Amino acid sequence: MDSKIRVLIVDDSFLMRKIISDIVSSDARFEVIAKAKDGKETLDKVFALKPDVITLDVNLPVLDGLEVLKEIMQKQPTRVIMLSAHTQKGASATILALELGAVDFISKPSGEISLDIRRLKNEIVSKIKMASEIDLDKFLSTLARPTTAKPAITQESVRFKKLVVIGASTGGPRAILKVMQDIPIDIAAAFLIVQHMPEGFTLSFAERISWQSKLKAKEAGQGDIISRSKVYVAPAGSHMVIKRLPEQEENLLVLELNRNAPVNFVRPSIDVTMESAAEVFGSDVIGVILTGMGKDGLEGAKKIKQKGGFIIAQDEETSVV
Mean pLDDT for the stretch of residues 223-228: 90
Better-scored residue on pLDDT, 121 or 158? 121
pLDDT value for 150: 42
Q: Tell me the pLDDT tens digit for each residue of 295-305.
A: 999 999 999 99
pLDDT band at 140 (very low <50, low <70, confident <90, very high): confident
Between CA 319 and CA 317 the distance in angstroms is 6
| Residue 226: strand, helix, or coil | coil
Q: Report how far apart the first and last C-alpha atoms of the chain are (Å, whole number).
A: 17
Q: How many CA atoms lie within 13 A of 182 on its CB side?
A: 6
pLDDT value for 283: 96
Active site residues: 169, 196, 296
Burial class, 137, CB count within 10 angstroms (exposed 0-12 / middle 13-18 / buried 19+)? exposed
Task: Strand 53-57: give its sheet, edge to edge.
Answer: 30-36, 5-10, 53-57, 79-85, 104-108
Mean pLDDT for the stretch of residues 100-124: 84
The answer for 45, left when phi > 0, alpha when psi is -120 to 50, beta otherwise, is alpha
Mean pLDDT of the chain: 88
pLDDT value for 107: 86
Mean pLDDT for the stretch of residues 140-148: 57
Range with the lowest mean pLDDT among 72-86, 227-241, 246-260, 300-314? 246-260
